[in-house]
Structure 1
């Protein structure tokens, strides 16, 4: 097994972090462009958000395919194949001439984007020791947030000087470099044990995960937190392009630098989990999320940005803890268990905007905050239930 902080640990972790960076940069590159898309294609804010929603929807659904497939065929090859697909679809996006074409290609891209998120944690579970896994998951998720930041910054700045086509050309070049590095750095699996690919077994594994309360509660926490968190960014862009803020597309891209606290939260989550229980880490992160959301109600650009910084730290602390919890609690078909968590996660991202839409229409940003706190109260309750379950299990054992 790969031990923490060994040369093999840093090589494998670097490869997975680069893959994660590439995936999430491509996924989020359109988010700061939503007001521009609405203007350029003469569509509404909700219609513009489909450029993000469709990619996350197909990503989430595809996780159900890649997890079981990797349990049968292996991890490394599938991850590399899907990264090739991401690069090719990004290049195709640079050639679109209509919004319908853009949506179709984003849906196809979402299918390929699912490969790494579905498999990376299972690869780590196969190859890393328990201590190494805790540290690697935190670094991997921090690369998620760095990719999200980079994609949004590239989208914001490149669009102003190069236009939409130029944004995707830049992303194609970055994706090709990342793909090449991952190919050379990612070690072949040494501890992977293949399972036969039978539909009945796959459905049985999924049913078993969903009937496992510690896993199901973690799925709900991850899915519903992301349901709100990522869609808050979509709605806040429409607040910040209007008076009194009137931010440009480039400045909207800069807003996503608030993800940097999420990078830090993910990176330290493994060390925090060595001192606090993972359910307690999840609950702490959700409370921080609620505080940051309330802070954005202050009518000040500084307060809004500070609130998003706080939100990002809280969200990624909870997300890293929940992902690691799922990996530990799944007794078999670990890739399927991790993939199912991410199915909840990305289906949450793709549907959260629809949930928040009536709150936005009726109350503007204040309505979005109310809708957010309702869901965070639900996930905090789930974290408390996990903590109670963990303590009861400790007493029984």
Structure 2
């Protein structure tokens, strides 16, 4: 393939890009949420409440949000590959080091730093794909990246749960850290360098201008708020569904509930399905259909029948990842310039939605009931649907 051509489907360069971008998502999200199923063990180890140890999870997402804000300004100053390699290797080393940290406060600090570092991958991955991959192959490449995110989040939680039960939570953290380091090393070796991007000195005035443009552009702003609402709803369901399943009429054991994370596999199907559909149908139509399907899945979570609830959860999960794939793809493809700024803002909204709505709905559930909780989440999803419905793609692309 000529060096002036973008990677096309079937080429060796495209295969390496797909494989490595999948590995990057696998590593980042395995590390980001690995503590979630092990909080009770960590609480016992440090002699604190589960609420205190929950900071082991939230610290990483806070770090991620801060990192995305930083890289929104600085990402274009570095080589795309170099930034992603540094993020993957350094975060894996921090995960490994945290295995031997005896102090909870220090582990939380490391969590913030780790989240900050891994944000380097999220800040430029979508920009790299739209720069280096042929437009017809971009949907497949982005779907592969988001599939890595999905499987990483799922496998990190499940592996941590099962390994911690046998060998202790610290050894489970070590396992995820070593696995992530190996993935980072493979990425370093195989991931192709950019051909259509050169690092450039940061023009802060231009960067602020670009970000201001994206944040005031109605089309992009609606996509950002859609991402925030959908991610907040998704995290809310997976954060608190355990309480629903432990109570009547289900009364499921902790071991059975742990395997609820297997439902993430439906997210992989969601990204793959819309990756193919986007070649046939308008992206905005696919996004609206995915959000509508997400509403149906959420409504089924009210059921007292375990089989209906599981079906609803599968539909809800598939639909969320389908919608997320479309929204992120539309963001990356629409920004003609300042792609890293556009995608960084997308992820910033995404994680702030996770933090704010994902935590706030917990107080709502505590004060009221599961049905009220789900009703509020459905209202949030309907709001996202309205934002998407009244957000047609402008005829002119952004010229920022």
Alignment TM-score, normalising by the size of structure 1:
0.92
For 1:57, which of 62, 76, 83 is the aligned residue? Answer: 62
For residues 184-333 of structure 1, what are the structure 2 equivalents within 5 Å? 184-242=189-247, 245-333=250-338
Structure 2 unaligned blocks of 5 or more: 1-5
1:5 aligns with 2:10: yes
Rounded to whole Å, the distance in 1 between the matches of 2:47 and 2:256 is 22
**How far apart are residue 292 of structure 1 and its match?**
1.1
Contact 1:232 1:368 in 2 (8 A): no
Rounded to whole Å, the distance in 1 between the matches of 2:48 and 2:289 is 39
Rounded to whole Å, the distance in 2 between the matches of 1:324 and 1:186 is 21
Rounded to whole Å, the distance in 2 between the matches of 1:58 and 1:31 is 16
For residues 23-102 of structure 1, what are the structure 2 equivalents within 5 Å? 23-37=28-42, 46-102=51-107
Structure 1 unaligned blocks of 5 or more: none
**More helix, by proportion:** 1
**How far apart are residue 12 of structure 1 and its match?**
0.9
- 1:62 match: secondary structure: helix
Contact 1:25 1:152 in 2 (8 A): yes
Greater CA drift, 148-157 or 273-282 = 273-282
- 2:137 match: secondary structure: helix
Greater CA drift, 248-257 or 87-96 = 248-257
For residues 342-381 of structure 1, what are the structure 2 equivalents within 5 Å? 342-381=347-386
Rounded to whole Å, the distance in 1 between the matches of 2:382 and 2:103 is 41
- 2:136 match: secondary structure: helix
**How far apart are residue 31 of structure 1 and its match?**
2.1
**How far apart are residue 158 of structure 1 and its match?**
1.5
Rounded to whole Å, the distance in 2 between the matches of 1:284 and 1:221 is 14
Equivalent residue, structure 2, for 1:385 = 390
Q: In the TM superposition, what whole-angstrom CA distance separates every residue of 1:261-291 from its partner, at most 9, and x where no partner exists?
A: 1101112212212222211111111111111
Rounded to whole Å, the distance in 2 between the matches of 1:231 and 1:100 is 25
**How far apart are residue 251 of structure 1 and its match?**
3.3
Q: In the TM superposition, what whole-angstrom CA distance separates every residue of 1:346-369 from its partner, at most 9, and x where no partner exists?
A: 111122233202321122422321
For 1:159, which of 164, 171, 175 is the aligned residue? Answer: 164
- 1:114 match: secondary structure: helix
* CA shift in 2, pair 1:303/1:155, >3 Å: farther
**How far apart are residue 35 of structure 1 and its match?**
4.8
Equivalent residue, structure 1, for 2:133 = 128
Contact 1:49 1:234 in 2 (8 A): no
Aligned length: 392
Alignment TM-score, normalising by the size of structure 2:
0.92
Contact 2:92 2:177 in 1 (8 A): yes
- 1:390 match: secondary structure: coil
**How far apart are residue 247 of structure 1 and its match?**
4.5
Equivalent residue, structure 1, for 2:25 = 20
The Cα RMSD (Å) is 2.1
- 1:375 match: secondary structure: helix
Rounded to whole Å, the distance in 1 between the matches of 2:266 and 2:75 is 32
